[in-house]
Structure 1
Amino acid sequence: MLRAETESASFPRAKPAKMKGMNTMRSEYDFGKAKRGPVIQSPGKTRITIMLDDDVIEHFRQQAEIQGIGYQTMINAALRRAVAVKRQEQDDPPLTIATLRQVIREELHAS
């Protein structure tokens, strides 16, 4: 039995809905000026394609599901933390023996 026959048998008094002035479908649409991508742009964001290992993606997807946020948001946050650490290292380089010796020499020479 077809679906329409089943529905009409289940609902013998049902009639199709009539919508006045709702014939909004055109026979053809012109997509000549259309652009791909999201309708609303995300300021400060750039869409890219990136290849990541399956286990990395799966980790972020699992964590995202637990925390109730998007896995791409979590990947972005992890990358941000890595960039922040790198910038901190560049702004405040680690103290090495050579640097310590240089400071001691400068201090001894100044006194």
Structure 2
Amino acid sequence: MNTETSNDELKPEYDLTKYKVRRVGEGRRLLGQIKLDVDVARVFPDSESVNQALRTLIRLSEKGDIVPRIK
């Protein structure tokens, strides 16, 4: 057990106890980031708008209204 006092500058109101680091396993991939090209990032201001657009595309492709092409 470490009995030394810490000189941590983190403010007390930041509660980091609920966060866990996933170093291995399936969950690690779920926390990754995807880099958008500049032209795409201009259209989608945040991850919520990107996810909404992708879900719409998925629904349309499942209905058969469109067939997405993946290169």
TM value normalised by structure 2: 0.47
Query: Which has the larger Rg?
Result: 1
Q: Which has the higher helix share?
A: 1
TM-score normalized with structure 1 length: 0.32
